[in-house]
Chain A
């Protein structure tokens, strides 16, 4: 994958890549820390059809969505030979009872037999997080378990 980094003097940096479908997607990272998501026009790859300003939280949530989906797909594929094992992703919403608490407080494994195999934060993957890993709003948990177990885990993460 070829991510192109172009300095924009006085503004910041543009980082983008050309997709297989011929569109240019990327971000403009402004000097003052703002981020903008850019998507090129279908008929003119030089121009942008949209430049969407994202807050830090939005950018990291979007990064998690894109990256998290990949991990889930990969795990689903790996587990496809074990019927009954399902991979799912959970977002920690602002206001979740586990925002700013160690993951172990949820006792997911004991109560639902579900294991959290990875946490995505700000586009970074934390593989096999330990129980003392402190969760934050915006985190994306990738969990493996049975359908029932995952439903129960979702309920716990939402309402404690």
Chain B
């Protein structure tokens, strides 16, 4: 059998397998991300079977998956929404950073992974899965709820925080000194401010560069622009992901909306490959030893996200059931935690156990998140039989 034939068969089998997993996830109303990770683990190093024929393609495809994930994250909110969100809810955003980055950093520190490992794990435990949160809010009919703007505001802040965090992470992973790190922070803040300013002032002009009535032209210009910018930023050591993300922010209005509609299926395909490749690179036998740590992080960071949402919703004048719903909607961690762990593992600057811990953690949180969002209200009502039973 030729190499092309082998690669096609492997790739086809993997993608078909992902379809079955996604179908299963949909059947039980869950995010497919943990299933993709498990799928990757099953065939990874030390797993059931070796898949080497498709390696060349899957490596590039998973890079494209990260680029599309971040491009879509940037497209999700307009520059104006980001700026007003930042102005209105920076307190909740900061609380979110402090409460949720600290447990990851502390765990990495205790495990002896040093400052780089701590920075990576801080990101992994900090960032909520906006895709799971959005799905939960839609599925449970909570878009019209009063606490929802508070949830979205936290997600918007996390979005911006990623724009600061990713460049720093890239520089640190590349092994630059403390001063170099500070320069990276300065440079990234400058870059984000510039992009936001350009998007606010000239958003329409930026959009017209890629926009087109013709769907084919539009698709090719979007993908072309995203890959070009990602490649250039990678060459400049700014991280491929950040370039795509900033491009997403710079594109606004109807163009951004159309672009996200058009790119969603492509993102789904390439992101699925990214999750599988990440799973493939992780040895499944390395998971059980870190299970205890992952479970501990799960308990702590579920409570910290609940507290974040609770506080944010309380500030918005929402009563306690709404506060609990807001907190639970934020509990899920998913795609971006894996993106962060993936960047770290690819750089080789962190120990292999980190990938195992991040994988286990995301597996737990991606499953727990939607369950928490669904059950938080009934649990609270059951725990608190006070005035309701009296009036009944």
Measuring CB to CB, which residues of chain A are less than 8 angstroms from any residue of chain B? 6-11, 14, 16, 24, 26, 28, 31-32, 36, 38, 44-48, 50-51
B146 near A46: Cβ-Cβ < 8 Å? yes
B35-43, B58-66, B113-121, B147-155 - interface stretch = B147-155
A48 near B144: Cβ-Cβ < 8 Å? yes
Q: Which residues of chain A are within 8 angstroms of B85 by Cβ–Cβ distance? A: 9
Contact of A9 among B81, B146, B321 (CB under 8 A): B81
- Known contacts A10-B152, A11-B152, A32-B257; A48/B81 CB under 8 A: no
- For the A-B complex with A6-B149, A51-B144 known, give 4 more contacts whose Cβ atoms are closer than 8 Å: A10-B81, A10-B134, A26-B144, A36-B144
**Interchain residue pairs with CB less than 8 A apart (26):** A7-B84, A8-B143, A8-B152, A9-B77, A10-B76, A10-B77, A10-B134, A10-B155, A11-B143, A14-B144, A14-B148, A14-B149, A16-B144, A31-B257, A32-B257, A32-B261, A38-B143, A38-B144, A44-B322, A45-B146, A46-B318, A46-B319, A46-B321, A47-B145, A47-B146, A47-B325
Is B141's beta carbon under 8 Å from chain A? yes
Q: Which residues of chain B are within 8 angstroms of A38 by Cβ–Cβ distance? A: 143-144
Per-residue CB proximity of B76-98 to A under 8 Å, as 1/0?
11000110110000000000000
| CB under 8 Å from chain A, chain B span 307-366 | 318-319, 321-322, 325
Per-residue CB proximity of B144-169 to A under 8 Å, as 1/0?
11111100110110000000000000
Q: How far is the CA of A65 from the CA of B147 in the complex (A)?
A: 30
Q: How far is the CA of A26 from the CA of B148 in the complex (A)?
A: 15
| B contacts with A, residue count (CB < 8 A) | 27
Q: Which residues of chain A are within 8 angstroms of B321 by Cβ–Cβ distance? A: 44, 46-47
| CB under 8 Å from chain A, chain B span 5-62 | none
Q: Which residues of chain B are within 8 angstroms of A48 by Cβ–Cβ distance? A: 141-142, 144-145
